[in-house]
Structure 1
Amino acid sequence: MAEYLDIISLIFLVATIAVGFLKNMNIGLLAIGASIILGRMAGISDKEIYSGFDAKLFTQLVGIMYLFGVAQVNGTLEVIAKKGIASVGNKTYLVPIIIWLIGGFLTTIGPGNIAMGSLMSMVAITVAVSMGKNPIYYALIAKAGTNGFAMSPITPTGIIGANLGEAAGYNKSIFELPVFFNLIIWGVVCFIAFVLVYYKRTNIGGEVKVIDKNELGTLNKEQKITISGIIVMVVMVIVFKIDVGLASFFVAAILSFIGVCKEKSALSKVPWGTLMLICGVNVLMNLVNQLGGIAVLTNGLLSIMTESSAPAIIAGAGSLLSSVSSASGVVMPTLIPTIAGIVEQFNGGNEMFIELLSALMSGAYSSAFSPASTGGGLILAAAASAAGFSDKEQNKIFGHLIIAGIGISLLNVGLAWLGIYSFIG
């Protein structure tokens, strides 16, 4: 059996993802359970199994998520978002642009696309309904903005990508910013696509209302202090090169100490299930890699690709896997290790790694508009809670989101085939 452990490990990985999806269970928990069985079959010690748990990554993610949990609980992020949207006054045609930019900006500075995707979907739909605009259009624009800026070096997804890229043998200083900028290009393409599709269906009838920024009030003392704290965190990371997790914990601890929000409420905003998913899958992936499963997967992809078709195939694979799983928790730890082998096979160097990683992430985020994914699910939930849509209206939204997920995924495969992600590298 020892000679087949590479294939067996890959089967364990696929089965874990499939069972998690079909049973609607946390794949991270299943992955740890599968790791115990696989470890025993391969004669791997518990200590070696534990080595797959990335404590640094866990600390970084908890730190950044806790800090922005503070900003979410005391209303800082929501006030900034709504004030930004209201700043256009009666120029309502600018609102989608503002939604996209605010979603992107707030994602970039740390919260990441999951937290901001949830908040901006709620804000976008609420604003759309209050203005008599199409809520689906606004929600898709918001999600395009948050996903398009998701690979910032200080967001959770950006941190995961940097860790996985370095584990694959690449210095993050080489690929972090190029991948970030490539994803912004993808976000711009999504914005344009949604504008073209929904341009003639922007209004839903009735008089178009304008949001009065004066009705939103001003930032309170706690919110101003929170914004100052976030700025301090960014300076600590960028200027003083302090680890983003440690810097976030430091600032969050000070904010909690001076009472800008209740500590328990901020901690409740940390998505512990997502953290368990990410770290649990990493434990299993470490074993799969040790046993040669990643090599099998890489060789399988290489058998159907050429150097020119590699970006398109990687983009498609990212979309397919993301449609049934988490981009950060499953797609990234599963497929980023294969990219290194593909680059090596084609002697592509750093430029090809950047292109393939960009294609993978844009593919993963393309299918994230689908209601089966976290992003699409958040839009559907926001439509139900923020706008109070009926079951019939929610079913209509469901159909729009499926079409959006499939359409953007196919568009992205075409972009990857044309080499759009090779321009920055």
Structure 2
Amino acid sequence: MVLTTALAGLIMVFLLGSLRPVNMGAIALVAAFLLCSLNGIATGDVLDEFPVSLLITLVGVTFLFGIAKSNGTIDWLVRLAMSAVRGRKQLMPWIVFLTATALAAIGAASPAAVAIVAPIGIAFAVKHGTSPLLNGLMAVNGAAAGSFSPVGVLGTIALGAAAAHGLTIDPLVLFGATFGFNAIVALGTVVVFRNHGISALEQTDAPPDGAGIGGAVATRTRPETRVRVEQVVTLTGILSMVVAVTGFGVDTGVASLSVAVLLALLFGKTAQSGATSIAWPVVLLVCGIVTYISVMEQLGVVEALGQGVTAVGAPLVAALVLCLIGGVVSAFASTTGILGALVPLSAPLLLSGHIDATALLAALCVSSSVVDASPFSTNGALIVANVPEHQRTATYRVLLLWGAALIIVAPLAGWGMLVVLF
């Protein structure tokens, strides 16, 4: 009964949010309270599920990079990136991919890598008339490709959970398999989205007066080679955030918000323009949906789905069901959380010897991480929040369709390539 009610409520949230002019996140929050009331859960328990960390991350990152756009720092970084690719704009998505991969592989959390790389890649696309959505997605793909290294956050979690259940996993094979799969996804992403939004950008997003993205207007009106003091301080702040997040494990939201507030105190004029880049409707939408999914987890809906897998007699079918569960849940909730739940659920199947343990774990990892392009995932939300304001609605809809496709395609492809053919 709880499972049916929870799933029906989720469907209603999507229907009402699509058919009526009401923020879907607000509807999801109300639905979460109703679901808890029907199951005897106190209001305070619902509030405990609200993703405060995600809210701070979205606000902090968009505020920081809004300031950087407003004072011209992002334009300077875009010119630097253009110099690096020697005018070959088509290489930029792959630079975005590899940079995000490197950051995630050395220990940055996936949202942290995306938060660092995606805004710069999107700004580059806006500046040079290429697809901002493509560069944003390549940052997400790159972060997923690097996250399962032996020292990556998700790789450490997956390997640790497997070891705790007596499973022997080859870490290099796991990393190679997940990286290779995400590289294939990245190639497909380039093919599908390389021309997305370019005509609109050429008409509205690259005016000669130096207008920035996200509604903020750059203070510079012509190309400059000299870097101003404010830009040096801003760049130092961004680099400090990168070091704090990747080297010292500081929360991405806390680090970015701290730097943004410091810059706002030092340079109040551009901070006012930068504050308009905070995507509050996106914050409400994502946090509302994540809260509802967290309530579903608290009610044991995900666990019930996992227990249903144990009733499946055929090992290959059971493996596919696990991959599909990972894809569906991770598209709306924490990839870290679902991996922590899926490995114990799949332990009996992994220990049975019917399926190679490393292959199935790799399939579970890619199924749960590739779908982070969903607009309800932190990474997907960061893309929506950083594209030009007038493109956010269209970007959200495209990511919703892309995420829905990946929920099915990624688990099927991961299962087929890594489990059936391994």
TM-score past 0.5 threshold: yes
Give distance in 1, aligned partners of 2:295 and 2:183: 38
Give distance in 1, aligned partners of 2:251 and 2:90: 34
Give distance in 2, aligned partners of 1:42 and 1:404: 30
Cα distance, 1:114–1:23 mapped onto 2, change above 3 Å: farther
> What runs of 5+ residues in structure 2 fail to find an aligned partner?
200-221, 352-356
| Structure 1 contact 124–139 (Cα < 8 Å) conserved | yes
The question of 1:146 aligning with 2:139 is answered yes
User: Equivalent residue for 1:55?
Assistant: 52
Query: How much has 1:180 moved relative to structure 2?
Result: 9.0
The aligned runs of 1:16-95 (5 Å cut-off) are: 16-23=13-20, 25-89=22-86, 92=88, 95=89
The aligned runs of 1:23-422 (5 Å cut-off) are: 23=20, 25-89=22-86, 92=88, 95-102=89-96, 105=99, 113=114, 120-121=121-122, 123-124=124-125, 127=128, 142-151=135-144, 185-193=180-188, 217-259=225-267, 262-300=270-308, 308=316, 329=332, 339-340=342-343, 342-347=345-350, 355-365=363-373, 410=409, 413-419=412-418
Cα distance, 1:193–1:29 mapped onto 2, change above 3 Å: closer
Question: Which of 6, 9, 13 lines up with 2:6 in the alignment?
Answer: 9
Give distance in 1, aligned partners of 2:193 and 2:29: 44
Q: TM-score, normalised by structure 1?
A: 0.62
| Structure 2 contact 62–278 (Cα < 8 Å) conserved | yes
Give distance in 1, aligned partners of 2:67 and 2:163: 34
Percent identity between matched residues is: 19
Query: How much has 1:194 moved relative to structure 2?
Result: 6.4
Deviations 1:218-272 (A, max 9, x none): 4332222212112222323344443333333332222222218633333322222
Query: How much has 1:36 moved relative to structure 2?
Result: 1.9
Give distance in 1, aligned partners of 2:163 and 2:274: 35
Mean CA deviation greater in 303-312 or 142-151: 303-312
**RMSD in angstroms over aligned alpha carbons?**
5.3
Task: Give 1:419's aligned amino acid.
Answer: L
Task: Give 1:26's aligned amino acid.
Answer: N
Give the SS at the match of 1:242: coil
Aligned residue pairs: how many? 363
> What runs of 5+ residues in structure 1 fail to find an aligned partner?
129-134, 205-213, 386-393
Query: How much has 1:34 moved relative to structure 2?
Result: 0.8
